[in-house]
Chains A and B, each alone.
Chain A
């Protein structure tokens, strides 16, 4: 995948929707977990505190009742050790000695009287001495040499000594850590799954929207028969498709009406024109060729111009409404221009003009042949009519990735400033022009009907430039040869 399509994917709505939805989902579940963890932590703490308080009380009781003789230490130690085996949340320890629980009796003179647990107990005694402990209130105590703190409960015995029972928080932390780890994995899994589900669901839906968009954009200027795809489901997307199709139905019917109107208008005008022309021709053949014939000849000429004007007006009108009907065939643009130049060259030469064609060779486009012929003839007619004597007309075919430009340049006086702003409007023509002012409007109409555009400007070095750009269809015959300039003089 190229970086371009990658970026396009990141910009796609499916990606954004799933990104934000997943973010919200992940955030929400994270908050829930934090609360849950706090609750579990509290509960474990409460349980171990309850156990500590209970046990320390029992131990205190035992210490009180056991006679202070030689056996005292052994009895109390034994009881303490037994208690240590019933530790809640206990996990199997790596070492043999029980390092998760300690029992400590501190004498009134702050000396270590009794110690049950790992190590010598001096460090623990010191740590306890530093912390201010309140009886019946288990507290956290950090002991040197132990990574995790101990939870320590304390009770005062009658002889002034204190009994401490400590429980390592190691197991508690281990439980919480494993809980955290499991949740994190689960959370990641759920978030990823959620993202995938949202992404694929939205993409599926949006693919449908995209298909509708693609189909709708394909339904161009002349092809109104196609419809956008619809789904059997009755959701919003299906509604969109149906609405578009209904809209297309309406457009098609108004197009049809427009065609009917222009056709009947054309028909109603053409029939009398045909009759008039026929009668004129008959009287011409009957009349002697001479002065009598002159008005008839000019009437026929006028009639032909009127007919051509009628054709172009209706074409321009239909094209403005995006309703010009096209019959597309494969046309070699280079070939067509050469034939046209061959046709126009003598007339141009008569006025002292030179035509140059800059083309890189054969270039096939899909276009309406009759309209293209008339459009290019129009471009040449424009040059022929408007250029003063002895100018050079350069015709260029420029190919870019997805379009071909047909550029007509001359070194004449260019467009006069007063017509520049509405060059493509109907009935706009220069003061000295003797045309009917449809030329460029017609060229524009044909280009637009083919999905292209026309621009006209005055060149910096003087002279006019008209550029007709037409889209290239896919499966295009690209030019093979390097650019060759063909002079036609």
Chain B
């Protein structure tokens, strides 16, 4: 996957580049709009990360310009602004996504994956998800582990489905709040942890290998091996 990273803060650019390369992306970086434009036209990128505050031009202007020039790759917008401007919302409607700084790396990676998936949707959506001995029937809304049916509430099922779709990858609390409850909030209480704790109590029975792992300070991961 070829990725163009447009970020003027060299500090952020360098750690992002390293993390993204570790995650398997081929990263080219640009520190201003002009360089970004040149690179984007020459190289066929699969995805772009664009910071809104560039020294020579506004990030949105750059994106719109690239779209005019025929660049079709999805864009993840990084914003250090507090409120999300209407133009960002417009781009979001058009298939792009945004992330406000500061962010968790896991969330950045998850959003990149989502963007790529959204733009290359699988031919037919699976109706069953399987992670190790955990099985989810999306049509009947039933979950089972080692053939044993799990008694889950609707919300717990949605949460587990989200974990299964991201099996083996870190999900953060804000990602869970965004994807499962549909809100970008940052509660300073342990609301999400209690939900995970309850879900874990049902999924990881006594004597079974624990599937849901807590990564302190980062989030959670559903083990897939």
Contacts and interface: CB of A to CB of B under 8 A. Distances in A.
Contacts of A307: 102, 186
Contact of B102 (A273, A296, A374): A273
Interface stretch (B7-15, B40-48, B55-63, B143-151): B7-15
Interface residues of A, number: 51
Given A278-B105, A350-B194, A343 B181 contact: yes
Contact of A381 (B86, B188, B194, B217): B188
B80 interface: yes
Contacts of B81: 263, 266-267
A239 interface: no
B77 to A, nearest CB: 14
Given A300-B217, A346-B195, A346-B198, A262 B188 contact: no
Contacts of A344: 191
The 6 closest A-B pairs by CB, nearest first: A297-B217, A274-B102, A275-B11, A270-B80, A278-B15, A373-B183
Nearest to A293: B216
A301 B217 contact: yes
A221 interface: no
Interface of A: 262-263, 266-267, 270-279, 281-282, 284, 289, 293-294, 296-298, 300-301, 303-305, 307-308, 311, 314-315, 325, 327, 339, 342-344, 346-347, 350, 370, 373-374, 377, 380-381, 384-385, 435
B127 interface: no
A297 B16 CA distance: 19
10 contacts: A271-B80, A274-B101, A276-B102, A289-B216, A300-B217, A303-B102, A325-B83, A327-B86, A380-B189, A384-B189
B217 A343 contact: no
A185 to B, nearest CB: 66
B53 interface: yes
A302 to B, nearest CB: 10
A315 B82 contact: yes
Contact of A308 (B181, B183, B186, B195): B186
B217 A298 contact: yes
Nearest to B103: A274
Interface in B168-225: 177, 181-191, 194-195, 197-198, 215-218
A265 to B, nearest CB: 10
Contacts of B217: 284, 293, 296-298, 300-301
B71 interface: no
Contacts of A301: 217
B19 interface: yes
Contact of B218 (A281, A315, A380): A281
Contacts of B218: 281, 284, 297, 300
B55 to A, nearest CB: 12
Nearest to A325: B83
A325 B82 CA distance: 10
A343 B216 CA distance: 21
Given A262-B82, A274-B80, A278-B16, 18 more contacts: A266-B81, A271-B101, A272-B11, A273-B102, A274-B9, A277-B102, A278-B19, A281-B104, A282-B19, A284-B218, A325-B83, A342-B181, A343-B195, A346-B191, A346-B194, A373-B185, A381-B188, A385-B189
Nearest to B154: A342
A281 B105 contact: yes
B155 interface: yes
A347 B188 contact: no
A304 B174 CA distance: 11
B67 interface: no
A277 B218 CA distance: 11
A327 B89 contact: yes
A270 B15 contact: no
Contacts of A296: 217
Contacts of A284: 217-218
A26 B20 CA distance: 89
Contacts of B19: 278, 281-282
Contacts of A311: 82, 186
Nearest to A314: B82
A277 B104 contact: yes
A298 B15 CA distance: 20
Nearest to A324: B83
| A274, A314, A385, most chain B CB atoms within 10 A | A274
A377 B190 CA distance: 12
A266 B82 contact: yes
A350 B86 CA distance: 40
A205 B158 CA distance: 62
B165 interface: no
